[in-house]
Amino acid sequence: MSPFASRGITKYVRILLYANCAVFVVQLLEPTFFHSEYFTRIFSINTRAFAPWQIFTYMFLHGGWMHLLFNMVGLYMFGSDIEYVLGSKRFLRLYIFWGVIAGIGWLLIAMASGKGGICLGASGAILGILGCFAGLYPDRYISLLFPPITLKARTFVIALIVISALMMLDSTGNVAHSAHLFGCLAGYLFGMKVHKNPGILDAGLYSNASGPPIWKKWFNNVRAMVRHRSFTVITEDDIRPSQEEIDRILDKINSQGLNSLTIRERQILRKAGDKK
């Protein structure tokens, strides 16, 4: 059974879809009304006229309709699932982070190779989402249109990373393979880390900004476990939640919000709902 339920487009995925499309409209209108492409040149990563803000702004620009379409389809397909699991604020921060990593990676490779040029597009951030998806749920199957095959998310992402690394050696074409590589790899490593230790989402750089302090969350969780004596280890494949465990999670939602739940706690609630 899929670890996700159908729940529509989430908050920041919708905002990012609108933002990318709005910026693309500006790109289309600029040559008509201003007879220039200054907007695109100044906000894309440009090795000949680099500015620090470009590593943030380039990911909202696109080189054409198909470029925009493929990236937005990827954001639509995988973004909401990841935002639901990680929480909205954390998802937005990581989306930008993966895009920045992809942009810096492309810039360093371009400068080292002496090729130069410009880089634009959300591909690095989108592939960060895809990589995170594969790291969190490596055994979930993904069906491709071209070629028409179905394979595990982990297999697909590892193949994508290898292909991007090999394509970096090709000096022809306009595809930023190095940005794809760095973005996808960064997302995949993060997803694997969370998959092995979901608790890191409740502390440090990975925590959501809202809710009580981290030490208070930890104290409340420990106190709840001692009170209910719920020390049973629950796996993803065989979740047997007790009523006390469910009550503890519901109390946590009431006091700290839905985004405070770990992946394990979300799976327990989802499993309990399926049994009704």
More confident residue, 225 or 127: 127
Q: What is the pLDDT of residue 266?
A: 79
Q: Say yes or no: 16 and 29 in one domain.
A: yes
Angle at 129 between CA 174 and CA 45, to 5 degrees: 35
User: Of 161, 196, 231, which residue sits at a domain end?
Assistant: 196
DSSP H helical segments within 168-213, as ranges? 177-196
How far does the chain reach from its first CA to its final CA, in angstroms? Answer: 16
Q: Is the peptide bond before 147 cis (omega within 30 degrees of 0)?
A: yes
DSSP state of 236: S
Instruction: Read off the pLDDT of each residue in 168-173 and give the average, rounded to a whole number.
Output: 68
Instruction: Read off the pLDDT of each residue in 42-54 and give the average, rounded to a whole number.
Output: 92
**Dihedral, CA of residue 125, residue 76, residue 67 and residue 141, to nearest 10:** 80
Share of the chain above pLDDT 70, in %: 79
- Residues 74-112 pLDDT 10s: 999 999 999 998 989 999 999 999 999 999 999 999 888
Instruction: Read off the pLDDT of each residue in 27-49 and give the average, rounded to a whole number.
Output: 84
Q: Say yes or no: 191 and 241 in one domain.
A: no
Domain membership of residue 100 (yes or no) is yes
- What are the backbone dihedrals phi and psi of residue 32, each rounded to the nearest 5 degrees, phi first? -75, -45
Band of residue 143 on the pLDDT scale cut at 50, 70, 90: confident
Q: Say yes or no: 191 and 67 in one domain.
A: yes
- What are the backbone dihedrals phi and psi of residue 143, each rounded to the nearest 5 degrees, phi first? -100, 130
Angle at 249 between CA 247 and CA 250, to 5 degrees: 65
At residue 8, does pLDDT exceed 60? yes
Q: Tokens standing for 274? A: 């399926």
At residue 22, does pLDDT exceed 80? yes
Q: How many CB atoms lie within 10 A of CB 71?
A: 22
Band of residue 122 on the pLDDT scale cut at 50, 70, 90: very high
At residue 117, does pLDDT exceed 60? yes
* Residue 136 domain boundaries: 11-196
Strand, helix or coil at 46?
strand
Band of residue 215 on the pLDDT scale cut at 50, 70, 90: very low
- Report the candidate in 237, 239, 244, 247 with the shortest Cα–Cα distance to residue 275: 239
Cα–Cα distance measured from residue 197 to residue 186, given in angstroms and rounded to the nearest whole number: 17
More confident residue, 234 or 193: 193
Domain membership of residue 2 (yes or no) is no
Q: Say yes or no: 62 and 108 in one domain.
A: yes
Most confident listed range (85-99, 160-174, 236-250) = 85-99
Residue with tokens 């990975």: 206
Q: What is the pLDDT of residue 240?
A: 61
**Dihedral, CA of residue 177, residue 179, residue 183 and residue 185, to nearest 10:** 50
Q: What is the pLDDT of residue 125?
A: 97
At residue 232, does pLDDT exceed 50? no
Q: Say yes or no: 35 and 125 in one domain.
A: yes
DSSP state of 49: S
- Residues 199-209 pLDDT 10s: 777 644 445 54
Mean pLDDT over all residues of the chain?
81
Q: Say yes or no: 189 and 131 in one domain.
A: yes
DSSP 155-174: HHHHHHHHHHHHHTT---SS
> For the chain, what is the domain count?
2
- What are the backbone dihedrals phi and psi of residue 151, each rounded to the nearest 5 degrees, phi first? -150, 165
At residue 249, does pLDDT exceed 90? no
At residue 235, does pLDDT exceed 70? no
Band of residue 148 on the pLDDT scale cut at 50, 70, 90: confident
